[in-house]
Structure 1
């Protein structure tokens, strides 16, 4: 269920994790830790400035089948990656 940018920005994530200044694989580990704390159906948003994370995090959660990537918003130098725990 991919959401458009406007729908993503309107979401109020249940958990926000900070990946600013981190690079892979740390950005993925931060997202996975956030998902561990979340309950099924809750959303986790990771804020990062590492563009590669916008590819690795969605791919990893799809492979692990522990979350759904709802979408990513690019706001200049930062990215907001939205995940919904399964």
Structure 2
């Protein structure tokens, strides 16, 4: 699924993970913890200022088959990484 930044930011996430100020691998661990708490079909968004997380989180989600990466929206210097739990 490929959504625009506007469409992503309009989504109402079920879980928000605050990872601002964190770096890898902690940003990835926080995202995975958030996905573990989510139920199937729920949307988890991680908010981070660490650009590398925009690559590591989607790759881990795909590799581990734990969800669907919906996209990344940049807002105010922060990245909002959207994942839907499988």
Query: Structure 1 stretches (4+) deviating beyond 2 angstroms?
Result: none
C-alpha RMSD of the superposition: 0.7
Give 1:29-68 correspondences, 5 Å limit: 29-68=29-68
Q: Deviations over 1:37-82 (max 9, x none)?
A: 0000000000000000000000010000001110000124210000
Number of aligned residue pairs: give it: 86
In structure 2, runs of 5+ residues without a counterpart are none
Give 1:4-83 correspondences, 5 Å limit: 4-83=4-83
Q: TM-score normalised to the size of structure 1?
A: 0.97
Specify the SS of the correspondent of 1:73.
strand
- C-alpha separation between the residues in 2 aligned to 1:15 and 1:35? 8
